[in-house]
Structure formats: structure tokens, C-alpha cells
Amino acid sequence: MKVLLLEDDPALNDLLNEHLVDQGFDVTLCINGQEALEYLVDDVFDFALLDINTPILSGIDVLKTIRTDYKNQTPVIILTAFQDMKHLKESFESGVDDYIKKPFDLEELDQRIKKLCKQFNLDNNSEIKISEEMTFLPELCQLHYKGTIKHLAQKERDILSYFCKHKNRVISSEELLQNIWAYEEMPTDATIRVYIKNLREALGKDKIQTIRGIGYKFE
């Protein structure tokens, strides 16, 4: 899984990077908020770890910007030495998914990441129940239904994975673009509609609803 780490303290940056790599993550390192923002806008990450007190832009500023301006829902854990309620409240109001106060043990970080992965179905090795009779296997790009196997294209798999992470929430085409495609490979709305059409044929027409003028809802 791809992880973005924003931490301007060189020693902690190295420590966390080494630990995350040992855990099997593909880590992109940033030492200032502007750099982190550009990576999050231009690429796709499974989750991000953002320190608050960083140069140019704080971790909270990065979080606010991706959530508000780019509709980017990459799961985020805030790391901070601040102990006050003000920063905690501001982080959650800005859309953070978890919050860790420094100093913390690496074991605590591991547990928080495991919780995040479970919450957002980030483990591509896991099976996802679509219904009593249908199972989704993201790693294999397959749907298993009543003894048959339906194969999905990679982007169809990615869209369905995103829908599974955000069930019963209306998702716009813009949000799909920001969270599934890297900047240089952005498709047209027509291409997204083709992927949605193909998924409906595989899942059944009623699983993905079109909310006119807004987006799609997966149930």
C-alpha cells in the first residue's frame, strides 16, 4: 500500500519511514506541507500520516485543502506534539480519520493503521461481501456469484473498492477522479460513465444509483 508521510523532524521522519517500510508499505516522504499537498493532489495514496507543525503549510492546512478544494478522501492520521483540545477539534472538523499525540509507541501507530485499514477496506487481500451471494476479491479483480466468476478491469475494481469504502454516501465524479486517478491520467466523465455501466452489469442495476446532478450512491 502507498503511504504519504509528512514529518519535518529528520530523526522521526527516518524512524517512521524505516518502520513503515519494514511493515511492507511503499512510503513517500515529505518535509513541508506544500510538498505533501502536491503529492496528494497529483497521485493516489492508500492513506497519509500528517504532522501538524510543518513548514509552509501545516498538516491541518493540507487536510483542509484536500478535503474542501479537491474532494480528496484519502484516509488521514494526524501526528502531533500538541496536547490541547483546540488542535484536536480543528483536525476532526477538517475531516481527519484518526489523531495520535506524540510521543507515541510504534506499536500504537501500528494499531491505529490496522484500524484505519479495516475501516476503509484497505487490505486488497481481503474478501468483501457485496451481498449474501456475491463476494468481491479486489486483488484478483473478481466478483464471485453463485459459483461463477466475473472479471473486472483494474479501474472498475478501483471504483468498486472506493464505493465499498464509502457505502451509502453520494460520491461525485469529481471525487472519483481525485481519489482513483493520478493527475496525469485523468479520464473524461464519459469514461467514468462507461465504467459505472460495466459495474452495474456485473453487480446488478440496483446496486449503484445515479443521483441526478450530483453523482453515484452504492448500496
Instruction: Write out pLDDT tens, residues 143-181.
Output: 999 889 999 999 999 999 999 988 889 999 999 988 998
Instruction: Note whether 52 and 24 are within 8 A (CB).
Output: no
Flag whether pLDDT at 29 surpasses 80: yes
Average confidence (pLDDT) over 4-10: 97
pLDDT per residue over 81-124, tens digit each?
999 999 999 999 999 999 999 999 999 999 999 999 888 878 65
* 100: β partners: 79
What single-letter DSSP state applies at residue 63? H
Q: Do 88 and 24 lie in a common domain?
A: yes
Tell me what the pLDDT averaged over the chain comes to: 92
80: CATH: 3.40.50.2300
Three cell numbers, residue 51? 504532522
102, 119, 136 — which closes off a domain? 119
User: What DSSP string describes 109-126?
Assistant: HHHHHHHHHHHTT--TTS
Q: Do 152 and 50 lie in a common domain?
A: no
